[in-house]
Chain A
Amino acid sequence: MTREEVLDDLRKKFKDDIIEVFDKSPKRVYVEIRPDSIVQVASYIFKDLKARFNTASGVDLRYHMEILYHFLIEDINLLISLRVKLQKPKLEIDSLSPIFEGSSWIEREIHEILGINFRGHKDLRKLLLPDDWPEGVYPLRRDYKEWDKNVIRDRGV
């Protein structure tokens, strides 16, 4: 499959799920989709297009949170980044870990540093932060106060 065929295919198959396709460069495409359809689109890209899941990156953009799921189709050297926007305060999305194991750890990481809940993830324990990190404090959110004395200094971290 060529690059154009892959993109046409995606557009046709997920007509109602895709909000916007941003064709940035020959090697990079950003596809914004509705959050509800992440499982269908991601499993199609992973299983049928034989892409490798690179990672996911979450970012807090004040009014909404954004997660980018990066998939690299190595045969045609195309990186597809699936963009989902989650409106605050309902920060929930389906987990991809039942489809492939590779997404399990990165979802744990996003869960603890941005506070996004992944539905259907079997093991959402803390990954990077210490076990006694307070509940409801998310270090990569915009409203997180750096060096909040009550949160970090008192604990001797």
Chain B
Amino acid sequence: MEKTIIPIGPYHPLQEEPEFFLLTVEGEKVVDIDVHIGYNHRGIEKLSETKTFDQSTFLIERICGICSTSHPFAYTRAVEDIIPIEVPERAKYIRTIIAEGERIHSHLLWLGLAGHFLGYNTVYMWAWKLREEILDVMEILTGNRNNYAMFKPGGVRRDIKSEDIPVVIKKIDSIVSTLEMLKKAVIDDPVLHARTKGIGILSKEDAINYCALGPTARASGVARDLRKDSPYGAYDKVEWDMIVTHNGDVFDKVVVRVLETFESIKIIKNCLLNLPSGEIDANIKDIPPGEGIGFIEAPRGECFHYVKSDGTNRPVRHKVRAPTFMNLPTYKATVIGEDISDATIILAAIDPCYCCTERMTVCNTERKKIYSGKDLIKLSREKTEILRNKIGVK
């Protein structure tokens, strides 16, 4: 059969990073995929070598707007590993609270976008409305809706006031009931089952072979979570469960993320109620020569930082490895063999930065047919509509 090449990207205003996918399709089936990245390469690793250890915290906070806690968290842990030094208990709890707040808003953001791509704009609206509440909570705690600037090597920069705690807990409790409703709407929906079950399966072997991380791996039955395996912050001091599912399809990735949101709320509440008193900063003076490694479980998987110091006030080498770097290559295992109308949601399922805009065109040299990004989303929505009629759900 004749092969058609579909270029997707590299520009799109929907998600946070430009990427370029080259899908090769035979009829409706995807037979090959090639991913091009680098459109957003800003040379931050190189730039970090010219900044002092304290300045770098602010620089790497700006790597990603959604993960604006994960990177500073991993980086400060790497710097603390060089010395080595333990941060005060209270700082550990505050760090955990901020990191979990970020996980909730990141998962809700993804859930909304996934609903949008499938033609479920109700899910999109509800999820983003809930996310707004979380951002308000973060504003109370940190003063910022995003880019919290809470982290510094040795501790945190800002304390949580005790009078804020009841306000935050009340706000979080009010979120839970809406989230329960959203969970039922998403997980029990028959059309959503038909659209996402058995689609884009990442087997456990592939997840291990590609070194997949975070919810992507946990949906494939890889029961790994750094918060359990290599506890940091206050994760070993509060009760929570790791969410693991076994099918590896898009639906399971949705389930893992939705249920993890509830666990995050549990962790935040526990931490706020048991917040120990004391210092919030270990007051680091000098960084000795040496190497440090810090890794934490970001919303999308493990975020890994390696820092090498030569005793001056600047790092010699600062390596940043974001979780999507390991998750993107799994497309080779998940997209190939699937329908083109499912490709949108499979590419979105690892929660990457992926493109879906006007610049997305389908070029068929034979029939001279050109689809825009809108048309491809329309294709995806039409499939949902057909399924909806078939099942008989209104």
A residues in contact (CB < 8 Å) with B = 25, 27-28, 30, 52-55, 57, 59, 68, 70, 72, 74-75, 77, 79, 81, 100-106, 126-130, 139-140, 146
New A-B contacts (10) at CB < 8 Å, excluding given A54-B304, A54-B321 = A25-B84, A28-B293, A52-B211, A55-B304, A55-B306, A72-B295, A101-B211, A106-B321, A129-B41, A139-B43
Contact with A along B284-299 (1 / 0, CB 8 A): 0000000101010000
B319 interfacial contact with A, CB 8 Å: yes
B88 interfacial contact with A, CB 8 Å: no
Distance in Å from the Cβ of B269 to the closest Cβ of chain A?
27
**A100 with B38: in contact, given A57-B317, A74-B229, A139-B43 (CB under 8 Å)?**
no
Asked if A102 contacts B209 (CB within 8 A), the reply is yes
Asked if A77 contacts B230 (CB within 8 A), the reply is yes
A103 to B328, CA, bound (A): 12
Asked if A101 contacts B329 (CB within 8 A), the reply is yes
Distance in Å from the Cβ of B310 to the closest Cβ of chain A?
10
Distance in Å from the Cβ of A26 to the closest Cβ of chain B?
10
Distance in Å from the Cβ of A129 to the closest Cβ of chain B?
6
A140 to B318, CA, bound (A): 11
Asked if B308 contacts A100 (CB within 8 A), the reply is no
Cβ–Cβ < 8 Å partners of A128 in chain B: 37-38, 41
Distance in Å from the Cβ of A110 to the closest Cβ of chain B?
10
B89 interfacial contact with A, CB 8 Å: no
Chain B, residue nearest A125 (CB): B36
Main SS at interface, chain A: mixed
Asked if B321 contacts A139 (CB within 8 A), the reply is no
B residues in contact (CB < 8 Å) with A = 37-38, 41, 43, 45-46, 81, 84, 208-211, 224, 229-230, 291, 293, 295, 302, 304, 306, 308, 316-317, 319, 321, 325-326, 328-329, 332
Distance in Å from the Cβ of B8 to the closest Cβ of chain A?
18
**A127 with B302: in contact, given A55-B321, A59-B308 (CB under 8 Å)?**
no
Number of A-B contacts (CB under 8 A): 79
Distance in Å from the Cβ of A148 to the closest Cβ of chain B?
13
Cβ–Cβ < 8 Å partners of A101 in chain B: 209-211, 329, 332
Cβ–Cβ < 8 Å partners of B329 in chain A: 101-102, 104-105
Please list the 7 inter-chain residue pairs (A to B) with the smallest Cβ-Cβ separation, ordered nearest first: A102-B211, A57-B319, A128-B38, A55-B321, A74-B229, A59-B317, A128-B41
Asked if A55 contacts B41 (CB within 8 A), the reply is no
Contact of A54 among B210, B295, B328, B332 (CB under 8 A): B295
Cβ–Cβ < 8 Å partners of A57 in chain B: 306, 317, 319, 321
Asked if A74 contacts B224 (CB within 8 A), the reply is yes
Cβ–Cβ < 8 Å partners of B326 in chain A: 55, 102, 105
Chain A, residue nearest B295 (CB): A54
What would 28 A/B residue contacts be, using CB atoms closer than 8 Å? Answer: A27-B230, A52-B208, A52-B211, A54-B211, A54-B295, A55-B304, A59-B317, A70-B306, A72-B295, A74-B229, A77-B229, A79-B293, A79-B295, A100-B208, A100-B210, A101-B210, A101-B329, A101-B332, A102-B326, A102-B329, A105-B325, A105-B328, A106-B325, A127-B37, A128-B38, A129-B38, A129-B41, A139-B46
Asked if A127 contacts B211 (CB within 8 A), the reply is no
Asked if A68 contacts B306 (CB within 8 A), the reply is yes
Among A27, A54, A81, residue most surrounded by chain B Cβ atoms (within 10 Å): A54
A68 to B321, CA, bound (A): 13
